[in-house]
Amino acid sequence: MHGCIFSFTRQAEMKGLGHAILTGRTLTGMEPFGVVLADDLCLQDDNSQANVLEQMVKVFNQFRCSIVAVMEVPEDEIHKYGVIKGEELKDGLYKVSDMVEKPNKEDAPSNLAIIGRYILTPDIFGIIEKTPPGKGGEIQLTDALLQQAKDGCVIAYKFKGNRYDCGSVEGFVEATNYVYENLYLKGKA
Ligand code: G1P
């Protein structure tokens, strides 16, 4: 890709998403940065004018704080996700007041699940450093974001587009079929 420089860092121990992000600190410095969890494939649909990160950059430019992508999920799937509670500021934009990593459906604060797209402000690193291990004994980004929300502001954004869970066999097959039928056969991929 022209105009891009790729660097990488390695998480040597399996200590969770928060810890993984901390290993990127030397790459991003004091800039806000995007996080893309590759097992969540997000694609533009016919109604979305921009891809999910473009949409989120617009929201970031308005609020200048960390932004998380969310979508509504059925009750019996909520335990797979970080889940937010928030005050709806306007259509699809929520000021986060609570966040729970992979709750039981009884404890979930809403049906709005975090999808693997984030824009984070660099103060998150200092917060992650102080975040104790949470769900599953791992250092959870969700816990650090809740702290950031309490200290200032985190916005959840219900993005426009399709999302596929490529971390499951069904999701991976569904994504492959979608890309084949809607992009590849139409000469767009
Ligand atoms: C991670 C996050 C979780 C988020 C999910 C999205 O979990 O910890 O909050 O909802 O990604 O895919 P993972 O699926 O990596 O266990």
Asked if 108 and 140 count as a contact pair (C-beta separation under 8 A), the reply is no
Residue 49 is predicted with a pLDDT of: 82
d(CA 180, CA 13): 36
Give me the percent of the chain exceeding a pLDDT of 90.
91
Ligand 1 center to 116 CA (angstroms): 6
Please say if the pLDDT value at position 47 is more than 80: no
pLDDT tens-digit readout, 151-169 = 999 999 999 999 999 999 9
d(CA 37, CA 116): 5
- Residues lining ligand 1, judged by CB closer than 6 Å? 17, 37, 40, 81-82, 101, 113-116, 141-142
Mean pLDDT of the chain: 95
Please say if the pLDDT value at position 46 is more than 90: no
Range 101-122 average pLDDT: 98
Residue 1 is predicted with a pLDDT of: 73
Range 82-100 average pLDDT: 97
Residue 161 is predicted with a pLDDT of: 94
Atom in ligand 1 nearest the alpha carbon of residue 17: 8
Asked if 35 and 118 count as a contact pair (C-beta separation under 8 A), the reply is yes
Ligand 1 center to 82 CA (angstroms): 6
Helix, strand, coil percentages in the chain from 3-state DSSP, rounded to 5: 35, 25, 40
Please say if the pLDDT value at position 82 is more than 80: yes
HSE of 84 in the Cβ direction (CA atoms, 13 Å)? 31
Residue 8 is predicted with a pLDDT of: 93
Least confident of 47-51, 77-81, 83-87, 139-143: 47-51
Range 15-28 average pLDDT: 96
Please say if the pLDDT value at position 71 is more than 80: yes
- Ligand 1: residue of 73, 81, 158 to mutate (most ligand atoms within 8 A of CB) is 81
Confidence of residue 29 (pLDDT cuts 50, 70, 90): confident
Please say if the pLDDT value at position 189 is more than 90: no
